[in-house]
Amino acid sequence: MTPSKLDKIDNVQMTHSFWNFSLEVYSKKGVSDSCIALQESHGVDVNILLFCCWAASVGHPVLSKHEMALLCRSTAEWNQDIIQKLRNVRKSLKTKNYECNEEEVRDLQNQILEVEIKAEQTEQFKMMRTIAVLEDQSVPEIQRISNALENLTLYLSMPELSTTCYTTELCNLLGGVFPKASKTDIKLALG
C-alpha cells in the first residue's frame, strides 16, 4: 500500500474487518512510511504485517510457525505476480518520461492504482481463507500487543526476508494498531 492509495479507496468495496482495520491503521501517522520502508528494503509483504497485527488486535492467539508458513505460501505467488508487477508499472509511469501526454499518464496511473488496491484486497481475502481468525475481546491489550509482536517477529524471521533490526518501524506500526497503548508499553514489548 502507498499513501496515495488511500485517496482512491472509495472505489474499493470494503467488506471485512481486516480490510477496514488495514485502511484505518495504514492511514495513521508514520505507519505507511514504516510499512513501505520494510517492503522496499526487506521484501516484506505489508498485508502480512497487517494480518499479524489485526489477528492479535482482535484477541486471536499467537500464530504458529505452521500457520505463518501457510500464510506466506498462500500469498507469495499472488503478491509477486500481480501486486508487485502492478506497483512496478505504476511507479515506472511516475518516474520515467515516456513522452506521453501527462494527463493521460496520470489517468493510467490512477486506473492501475485502483486495480492494485483491488489486488491487495484480494490478497487479504486469501489470507482470511487460509487462517481462521478467532476474536476474543477478553484478551487484555498488553497481551494483544505482545501477541502482535510475536506474530511480527515470526514473520520477519522467515527465510525469504532479509534479517535486520526493525525496531523503529515496528514501534510505528504497533502504535498505529494500538493507539491507546503508551509508547512505553510498546517499547517494553519490543524489548
Is 111's pLDDT higher than 90?
yes
- In this prediction, residue 170 has a pLDDT band, given cuts at 50, 70 and 90, of confident
pLDDT of residue 162: 59
Taking residues 14-41, what's their average pLDDT? Answer: 89
Tens of pLDDT along 143-154? 999 999 999 999
How far apart are the C-alpha atoms of 43 and 135, rounded to whole Å?
29
Number of domains in the chain: 1
Instruction: Give this prediction's pTM.
Output: 0.85
Domain that holds residue 55: 3-190
Is 115 within 8 Å of 86 (Cβ atoms)?
A: yes
Give the cell for residue 119: 489486488
What angle (nearest 5°) sits at the alpha carbon of residue 68, between those of residues 65 and 73? 125
Mean per-residue pLDDT of the chain: 87
Is 190 within 8 Å of 171 (Cβ atoms)?
A: yes
Q: Measured between alpha carbons, how far is residue 185 from residues 23, 31, 99 in Å?
A: 24, 18, 52
Tens of pLDDT along 32-81? 999 999 888 888 999 999 999 999 999 999 999 999 999 999 999 999 99
Would you state the torsion angle of the CA atoms of residues 170, 175, 181, 183, taken in this order, to the nearest 10 degrees?
70
Is 9's pLDDT higher than 80?
no
